[in-house]
Chain A
Amino acid sequence: MVFNSVVFLFCFLPLGLLVYYLAPGGLKNAVLLLESLLFYCWSDSRFLPLIVVLVVVNYLAGLLMGSLPQGQPARKAVLAVAVVLSAGALVLFKYTAWLLDTLSGLSGLNLTGPAILRLLPLGISYYIFKLISYVADVYTGKIKPEQDFIAFGAYVVMFPQLLVGPIVKYRDIADQLHTVQNRCSLPKIQAGAEMFVFGLAKKVLLADGVGALWQGVIGVWAGNSQTTAGVGLANASTPLAWLGIIAYSLQLYFDFAGYSEMSNGLSKMMGFDCPANFNLPYISASITEFWRRWHISLSSWFRDYIYIPLGGNRKGLPRQILNMLAVWALTGVWHGANWNFICWGLYYFLLLTLEKAFLLKYLQKGRIWPHIYTLFLVVLGWGIFTANSAGAPLGLLLYKLFVPQGGVSALYFLRSYGVVLAAGIVCSTPLPGRLWAWAKAHTPVRLALLGGTAVASVAYVVAATNFAPLYANF
């Protein structure tokens, strides 16, 4: 079930909230857990046993580590077992098919493996990272292990974060999981509901709206077969190729940021304050800054559980660069089992290393050019990122972008998507935030904006066919 569907908005959400609000404080976690399991199993319950086993294993690992004194080697062993099992499940379900295909390609053998390993279990990339963050934090003593199995289960599978995160750490919401009285207050519910509406609008008005441009270029694909022909990247002119990946960059941002905002809004309505996952990434003045503003929950996970444990910047420059390499190779691979994601990760490793080595101090002095530099490289990065999708092979895309050439012009697409592109660009800046801050003090304006956005978004939800979030594939 996706948030941008009628069944979620007008059936699951009102009923789910009603039961949750009516439930006494002590039962709220149980209600959240049950609702989340229903949400998870909605159309496919095959992977339910997997998530149950992993939740039990990590819960027990937490308890076990908590019962052992700090510094005892057995603690490390427990951590290792929990992490290996969790990460192992991720590797097994996410990468086996790719590894087998790659091996088949190299060896000439026909290795297919079981069919179930060719399906990506819903939300696996997100809940496994939540689990690892939990056991790692218990191990380092940052948090006390969760005693209450229901509360722990509710944290891992809570439906607002189940499909595409954000990867909220247990320590960020542990207190609220144990708030029995007044967990949900009216101001919080109001703030959460507003956040949800604007998140929904970003997804259905902006992301889906601008996403049609890129589809007009590469066509609509189901796997490797084209269901609707576009102009074809091979026929596109250089300006159209650029316009296409700019549109894709906006689509990806509003798709994921909108979904994260819906998720955080829902969490807030249920009494949980989760850190923002995006902070206007496209206004960054360096790649370093960009990665502090884009998919914050993922970058902070890699920082806390890979980069810093490896030594971070405390063991000299060569070691630091090696640590960064590990982080960025893994960040690339996390997005999916494909070479283009690894290339994309290494691309950022190179850029960040260059900035760390010398570029950052020049960037900090500039005013305009650092923004142009950042946007150019980020948009190009999304070109590499999407190059695994059918219809946009990387070699052809780079050829179109960097060898100026004619072909199908960008005119029609500018004409038809100009307004939504402009809206997307404006919404990538702090302007709408400022407008909203002002509107909040003017009730009629606030209500008109909010009501209008909500009604318009529902119209797009009804008319569209529930475009699943792009990040559900990673």
Chain B
Amino acid sequence: MKNNRKNVLFAYPALSLLAALLVGFSLLNLFWPKRAQSDLENRRLAQLPALSVQTLLDGSWATGFTSYMQDQIALRDGWIGLESAMNSLLFQKAEESDILLGKDGWMFTKQFGISDATQKQLDKNVSAVITFAQRHPGQVSFMLAPSASVIYPEALPLGAPMVDENGMLDDIFAQISPYAQTFDLRATFTKNKADYLYYKTDHHWTTHGAYLAYQQLCAAKGLTPFDTAAHPAVEVPGFYGTHYSATRRWNVVPDTITYYPLENPMTVYQANGETDFSPLATETMLSTEKLSTRDKYAAFLGGNNGYSVIEGNGTGGILVVKDSYANCFVPFLTENYAKIGVIDFRNFSYGLDAMMESEGYDEVLILYNFQTFIADTKAFNISRPSAAK
């Protein structure tokens, strides 16, 4: 009998191999530990759906089970790493999951065109900013950070047909500048491009990039900038950002995050209404525990809270309306203002007119990155008229 089995194995080697792979891996997969979250992909993974007659009949159980199998497959991270390595090494592809794999370890958000929907959204966001600035003449500043690919075009893959972001930035600034003070960072960044301005593995700018932008703001407003020489910087190596999560580039070189430890308290509020806020928690601006996780950038300002207030060491109040680019920028403002309010419209859905008065903000800084600003579906809230009026 044993001899007979051995013969089958040799007579049908290909079948033996494939059967072993199929059965072996299916069994391994069955007993493989299931995860709630994929740290590398930075998302929740599908769980085994609850079984009921209703979900079986309407097909939702099957759909859920399909996602569950896909997300919980044994060695998932390894499979995705293998796919990415094959794309790079075997197929020599210059992109992975909508991220361009540039020279010297650079990774850039792929933007080959602007869809009609995005163009509409951009027009809407620009006019919302203009409407808001018209309502608050002399109080509004608008800063739009360019994409890394605009500052380092030579690091793009050969011939990458990127959208004309320079032209679009020119156009956005030209539209907004009659109504608000605008900050175009391209000249500053290009002049200092030898510095470490953007992360290579993440879609954000570095703390140094943010500092250069902050310096430009101070120069225009006649403020004395935060003195980096007087504050010891802390460096956290081993940062694998969102671009790495998307691409799993096999030869990735991790980034280093820099921060300045500051004691200024930050209070996160829950918004119950336009001018009705209740405090949730008070802590410092940096969640140091996040620095030991993969998503290290989330340490800044505790992520994207709807409304938070920081006590600064300067005078006056400034309201920063922002995306996550501002998270490593805002700490510098403690040098110049007494009260810094921070609004992230992804988690805040009221207009600003009434709260500016009640909370005592006499300046507003709108700070976005180009990629977010053109597609953000919540930013238009900025021009939402006050319900109280």
Contact = CB atoms under 8 A, between A and B. Distances in A.
Nearest to B11: A186
Contacts of B76: 462
B92 A419 contact: yes
Contacts of B306: none
B223 interface: no
Interface string A392-432: 00000000000000001101100111111001000000000
Interface string B54-87: 0001010011011001100100100110111010
A443 B15 CA distance: 12
Contacts of A412: 94, 157-161
A321 interface: no
B33 to A, nearest CB: 16
Interface in B100-159: 111-118, 157-159
Nearest to A217: B112
B90 to A, nearest CB: 7
Interface stretch (A22-30, A271-279, A330-338, A444-452): A444-452
A97 B164 CA distance: 41
A463 B69 contact: no
Interface string A6-34: 11011101100000000000000000000
Interface residues of A, number: 58
Interface string B252-266: 000000000000000
A182 interface: no
B51 to A, nearest CB: 15
Contact of A7 (B21, B23, B66): B66
A43 B161 contact: no
B23 to A, nearest CB: 6
B84 A463 contact: yes
A419 B94 CA distance: 11
Contacts of A194: 14, 18
A462 B80 contact: yes
A358 interface: no
B13 A228 contact: no
A6 B73 contact: yes
B159 A415 contact: yes
A403 B105 CA distance: 39
Contacts of A190: 12, 14-15
A459 B91 contact: no
Interface string A333-354: 0000000000000000000000
Contacts of B18: 193-194, 197, 450, 454
A229 B375 CA distance: 12
A45 interface: yes
A42 B59 contact: yes
B98 interface: yes
* Prevailing SS type, chain B contact patch: helix
Contacts of A418: 92
Contact of A459 (B25, B80, B98, B160): B80
A122 to B, nearest CB: 12
Interface in A433-474: 443, 446-447, 450-451, 454-456, 458-460, 462-464, 466
Contacts of B94: 412, 415-416
A462 B15 contact: no
Given A187-B12, A190-B14, A415-B159, A232 B113 contact: yes
B10 to A, nearest CB: 9
Contacts of B115: 219, 226-229
A175 interface: no
A200 to B, nearest CB: 11
Nearest to B8: A186
Contact of B157 (A42, A193, A415, A462): A415
A268 B355 CA distance: 71
B192 interface: no
B22 A458 contact: no
B26 interface: yes
A235 interface: yes
A420 B91 contact: yes
A225 B14 contact: no
A443 B13 CA distance: 7
Contact of B113 (A1, A6, A231, A415): A231
Contacts of B13: 443, 446-447
Interface string A282-302: 000000000000000000000
Given A7-B70, A186-B11, A226 B116 contact: yes
A325 B118 CA distance: 45
B95 interface: yes
Nearest to B77: A462
A225 B119 CA distance: 13
B231 interface: no
Interface string B361-383: 00000000000000000000000
Interface string B14-36: 11011101110110010000000
A11 B91 contact: no
B117 A225 contact: yes
Contacts of B79: 458-459, 462-463
Interface of A: 1, 5-7, 9-11, 13-14, 42-45, 186-187, 189-190, 193-194, 197, 209, 216, 219, 225-232, 235, 408-409, 411-412, 415-420, 423, 443, 446-447, 450-451, 454-456, 458-460, 462-464, 466
25 contacts: A1-B62, A6-B70, A7-B70, A10-B22, A11-B26, A11-B69, A45-B57, A219-B115, A226-B116, A229-B113, A231-B113, A409-B161, A411-B158, A411-B159, A412-B94, A412-B158, A415-B158, A416-B92, A417-B93, A418-B92, A419-B92, A420-B91, A423-B91, A446-B13, A462-B76
Closest 10 pairs (CB-CB, A-B): A411-B159, A229-B113, A190-B15, A412-B159, A463-B83, A462-B79, A226-B115, A416-B94, A7-B69, A229-B115
Interface of B: 8, 11-15, 17-19, 21-23, 25-26, 29, 57, 59, 62-63, 65-66, 69-70, 73, 76, 79-80, 82-84, 86, 90-95, 98, 111-118, 157-161, 163
Given A10-B69, A456-B82, 4 more contacts: A43-B59, A415-B92, A417-B93, A447-B17
